[in-house]
Amino acid sequence: MRSAAKDPSTPSRRPSRPWWIVAAAVALLLFTSGLLLGRVGAAPATPTTESAAAGFLRDMQVHHAQAVQMSLLVRDRSTDEAVRLIAYDIAIGQGGQAGQMYGLLDAWDLPQASSQPRMTWMSYPTIDGSDGGHGHAVSGQKAGGPMPGMATAKQIAALTAAKGEAADKLFLTLMIAHHQGGLEMAEAILHRTDQKQVVAMATQIEASQKAEITTMQEMLEKLG
C-alpha cells in the first residue's frame, strides 16, 4: 500500500527560531572565541591589575554591555529593517569585542573587577608623561563617575517603553552618544598604553564606531 504522495506545491516548513535566540547564540560564540583568542595571544609583558590597559578592558566591557542591551531592546520594538540591522550588527560586534576583553584579562590572570573606582585609568598620565588632567584626558571625567556616553536608567526605561519610529529615533540618539563616549575611551587608552593587543582593540573600536556614528546620523536625519 502506497502512502499518499506529498503535494510538491506545499513546501516543508521548519519551525523558525526567534531572532534573539540566533543573536544570543552568535554572541555567545563570538564571546567564547574572544576568550580563546585572549588565552592564546597573550603578550609576554603582562599589565598589572591597576594598569590603564586593565582598567580600559574592564570598563569597556561594561560600556559594550549597555550597547548590546539597547540594541536588543530596539530590535524587539522597531519595524524599520535598517534600524534592526544596525542594532544586530552592534550587538554581535560589541558582544564579540567584550569576549576578547574578558579573554585578555583572563590570560593575564587579572581579576575582571577592580577595587579601584571605574574610570580611574583615564586620570593616569599619558605615555609621553603629560599630566593626566590635561592634554588627552577626557574633559570632566572623574574616577568613579559615569562612563562617557552611557544612557541613564531613565533613558533605558524610555527606550523600553517606546515603539516603532519613536523607538528608532530614541535608539539612534542614545547610541550615537554612546558611541561618541566609546570613542573618547578608545582615544584615552591609546595615549596611556603601548600594549599591542589593547592598542589593536582600541584602534578597531575607533574605526568601527566612527563608521557606525556616520551611518546612524544619516538614518536619524532621514527619520526627521
Distance (Å, whole) CA 96 – CA 201: 11
Mean pLDDT value of segment 105-129:
94
pLDDT value for 111: 97
Grid coordinates in use for 44? 609576554
- In a domain? residue 132: no
Which domain does 191 fall in, by range?
19-40+47-124+147-223
- In a domain? residue 78: yes
Q: Are 138 and 71 in contact (CB under 8 A)?
A: no
Q: What stretch of H or E contains 154?
A: helix 153-161
Q: Are 224 and 124 in contact (CB under 8 A)?
A: no
Mean pLDDT for all residues in the chain: 85
CA distances (Å), origin 170, targets 52, 144, 161, 179: 33, 27, 11, 14
Distance (Å, whole) CA 189 – CA 154: 29
- In a domain? residue 111: yes
Q: Are 48 and 54 in contact (CB under 8 A)?
A: yes
Q: Model confidence over 34-48: pLDDT tens digits?
A: 555 555 444 457 999
Grid coordinates in use for 189? 587608552
Mean pLDDT value of segment 117-140:
73
- In a domain? residue 1: no
b/e burial code for range 189-204 (CB count within 10 A of at least 16 → b): bbbbbebebbeebbee
- In a domain? residue 131: no
Closest to 118 (Cα-Cα) out of 185, 180, 169: 185
Total domain count for the chain?
1
- In a domain? residue 104: yes
Domain CATH for 209 = 1.20.1260.10
Q: Are 146 and 184 in contact (CB under 8 A)?
A: no
Distance (Å, whole) CA 207 – CA 224: 27
- Name residues whose C-beta falls within 8 Å of residue 137's C-beta, 6 or more positions apart in sequence: 122, 123, 131, 188
Task: Enter the pTM of the model.
Answer: 0.78
Q: Model confidence over 172-219: pLDDT tens digits?
A: 999 999 999 999 999 999 999 999 999 999 999 999 999 999 999 999
Q: Where residue 49 falls among pLDDT bands split at 50, 70, 90? A: very high
- In a domain? residue 2: no
- In a domain? residue 13: no
Question: 115: which DSSP letter?
Answer: S
